[in-house]
Amino acid sequence: AQSVSQHNHHVILSEAASLELGCNYSYGGTVNLFWYVQYPGQHLQLLLKYFSGDPLVKGIKGFEAEFIKSKFSFNLRKPSVQWSDTAEYFCAVNPGFMGANNLFFGTGTRLTVIP
Amino acid sequence: DGGITQSPKYLFRKEGQNVTLSCEQNLNHDAMYWYRQDPGQGLRLIYYSQIVNDFQKGDIAEGYSVSREKKESFPLTVTSAQKNPTAFYLCASSMGGLAGTQETQYFGPGTRLLVL
SS (H, E, C) A12-58: EEECCCCEEECCEECCCCCEEEEEEEECCCCCCEEEEEECCCCCEEE
Q: Which residues does chain B have within 8 Å of residue A67's beta carbon, measured at their own beta carbons? A: none
What confidence tens digit (pLDDT) does each residue in A25-41 have? Answer: 998 888 999 999 999 98
Residue B31 and residue A100: Cβ atoms within 8 Å?
yes
Say how many CB pairs under 8 Å bridge A and B: 64
Task: Identify the pLDDT of residue A102.
Answer: 82
Considering CB atoms only, which of A49, A90, A94 is closest to B42? Answer: A90
Q: Name the residue among A58, A74, A94, B110 with its Cα closest to residue A66.
A: A74
For residue A12, is pLDDT > 60? yes
pLDDT over 70 percentage in chain B: 94
Assign B60 to helix, strand or coil: coil
Residue B111 to residue B92: CA distance in whole angstroms: 12
Mean pLDDT of chain B: 90
Neighbour tally for A1: CB within 10 Å:
3
Q: What is the pLDDT of residues B15-54, one digit of tens each?
A: 888 999 999 999 999 999 999 999 878 899 999 998 999 9
The partner residues of B7 in beta bridges, in order of sequence, read B22
Sort out which chain B residues have CB atoms less than 8 A from A107's CB and list them.
Answer: 40-42
What integer pLDDT is reported at residue B80 of this predicted model? 87
Residues of A in contact with B3 (CB under 8 A): none
DSSP state of A71: G
Distance from CA of B60 to the nearest CA of A (A): 13
Query: Is residue A57 pLDDT above 80, yes or no?
Result: yes
Q: Are B35 and B43 in contact (CB under 8 A)?
A: yes
* Residue scoring higher pLDDT (B5 or B116): B5
Contact call for residues B94 and A102 (beta carbons, < 8 A): no
Give residue-wise pLDDT tens across range A58-93: 999 999 999 999 999 999 999 999 999 999 999 999
Asked if A100 and B108 come within 8 Å (Cβ–Cβ), the reply is no
Q: For residue B100, what pLDDT band results from cuts at 50, 70 and 90?
A: low
Handedness of CA A84, B104, A32, A5 (dihedral sign): positive
Binding-site residues on chain B for chain A (CB distance < 8 A): 31, 33, 40-45, 48, 50, 56, 90, 94-110
Averaged pLDDT for residues B79-93: 92
Q: By C-alpha distance, which of B70, B44, B43, B41 is closest to B55?
A: B70
CB within 8 Å: A44 and B90: yes
